[in-house]
């Protein structure tokens, strides 16, 4: 029978207690407290933490007999199935010293981030932001404008001042191994960074660069402040695009051959 597990990190004791109470009397749903660490929320790491099952490289969670949904997705499913309501809103965290009124805000999908900032009081005039990040500090991409619409994956907006946004100058790799030690996927970021710089896509893929979850742990831990995650993310997109194009070409070729064979008949 199907079994549901609600994973909550241990730094949220009230949430754990509340969900345990809600699950009383339900045999196939349990609550499992988890060690508070990053990136605990990654599908593969969450599956392993709860079930001790490993999702193989390139495979989906279903291959391990699991389906992973975050709490907001579950709420959206309930509203869609039980109430017939489409996904229309998101909870967005706005933070950083560059914003007047940081906090969590419920917004409608489609609302621009500029309208959101204006609605909550605007930027801090005395110490305005110099960098805007969509999402979290470890994985969020930098924004060049706030004139973008919020979408179903919008989770946050960080408004960093000059001090918060400071990044030391990139230096030569010292082969300390910290990026390898802290990579949650067991990769070698320093080597993938070298492949990315050289444009060696074959070497990048061979050393499992496509398995990177772009968590940013390598860049955060690097004492030389190498832009490891950024270079790996860019190369990953290029190689993933090549892989998708090759698969599409193979499908088109197979369909053409099938059509030619049918015409001969």
Q: Is the pLDDT of residue 38 over 90?
A: no
The confidence score (pLDDT) of residue 167 equals 86
pLDDT (tens digit per residue) in 183-223: 999 999 999 999 999 999 999 999 999 999 999 999 999 99
Mean pLDDT on 5-31: 94
Mean pLDDT on 43-72: 90
The confidence score (pLDDT) of residue 104 equals 96
- The closest alpha carbon to 206, from 50, 57, 85, belongs to 57
The confidence score (pLDDT) of residue 39 equals 85
Instruction: Looking at the structure, give the CATH architecture of the domain made up of residues 89-165.
Output: Roll (3.10)
Q: Is the pLDDT of residue 72 over 80?
A: yes
The confidence score (pLDDT) of residue 236 equals 95
What is the C-alpha separation between 209 and 7, in angstroms, rounded? 28
Q: Is the pLDDT of residue 118 over 80?
A: yes
Q: Is the pLDDT of residue 265 over 80?
A: no
Mean pLDDT on 21-38: 92
Mean pLDDT on 141-159: 93
Q: Is the pLDDT of residue 109 over 80?
A: yes
Q: Is the pLDDT of residue 29 over 90?
A: yes
The confidence score (pLDDT) of residue 230 equals 93
- The closest alpha carbon to 31, from 43, 39, 41, 23, belongs to 23
CA dihedral sign, ordered 12, 32, 30, 152: positive
What are the extents of the domains in the chain? 4-82, 89-165, 168-265
* DSSP one-letter string for the chain: ---EEEEEETT-HHHHHHHHHHTTT-TTEEEEEE---TTTTSHHHHHHHHH---PPTT--GGGGT-----HHHHHHHHHHHHS-----EEEEEEESTTBSS-EEEEEETT-BHHHHHHHTT-B-SSS--SEEEES-TTTPPEES-S--B--TT--EEEEE-HHHH--PPP-------HHHHH-TT---HHHHHHHHHHT-HHHHHHTTGGG-----HHHHH-TT---HHHHHHHHHHHHHHHHHHHHHHHHHHHHHHHHHHHHH-
How does the average pLDDT of the chain come out, rounded?
93
The confidence score (pLDDT) of residue 250 equals 93
Q: Is the pLDDT of residue 4 over 80?
A: yes
What is the C-alpha separation between 107 and 105, in angstroms, rounded? 6
The sheet that has 89-95: what strands, in order across it? 103-108, 89-95, 156-160, 131-134, 142-143
Q: Select the more confidently predicted residue: 262 or 177.
A: 177
């Amino acid at each position: 029978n199907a079994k549901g597990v609600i994973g909550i990190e241990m730094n949220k004791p009230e949430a754990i207690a509340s969900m345990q109470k809600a699950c009383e009397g339900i045999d196939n749903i349990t609550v499992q407290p988890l060690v508070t660490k990053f990136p605990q929320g990654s599908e593969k790491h969450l599956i392993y933490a709860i079930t001790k099952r490993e999702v193989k490289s390139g495979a989906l969670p279903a291959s391990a007999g699991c389906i992973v949904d975050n709490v907001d997705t579950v709420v959206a499913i309930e509203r869609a199935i039980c109430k017939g309501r489409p996904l229309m809103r998101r909870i967005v965290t706005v933070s950083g010293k560059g914003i007047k009124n940081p906090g969590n805000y419920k917004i409608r999908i489609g609302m621009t981030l500029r309208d959101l900032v204006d609605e909550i009081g605007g930027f801090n005039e005395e110490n305005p932001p110099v960098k805007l990040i969509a999402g979290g500090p470890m994985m969020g991409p930098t924004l060049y404008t706030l004139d973008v619409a919020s979408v179903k994956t919008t989770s946050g907006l960080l408004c960093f001042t000059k001090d918060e946004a400071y990044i030391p100058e990139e230096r030569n790799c010292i082969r300390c191994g910290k990026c390898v030690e802290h990579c949650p996927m067991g990769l070698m970021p320093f080597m993938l960074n070298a492949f990315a710089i050289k444009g060696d896509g074959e070497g990048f893929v061979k050393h499992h660069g496509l398995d990177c979850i772009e968590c940013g742990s390598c860049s955060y831990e690097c004492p030389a402040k190498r832009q490891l995650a950024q270079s790996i993310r860019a190369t990953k997109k290029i190689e993933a695009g090549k892989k998708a194009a090759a698969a599409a070409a193979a499908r088109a070729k197979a369909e053409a051959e099938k059509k030619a064979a049918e015409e001969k008949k």
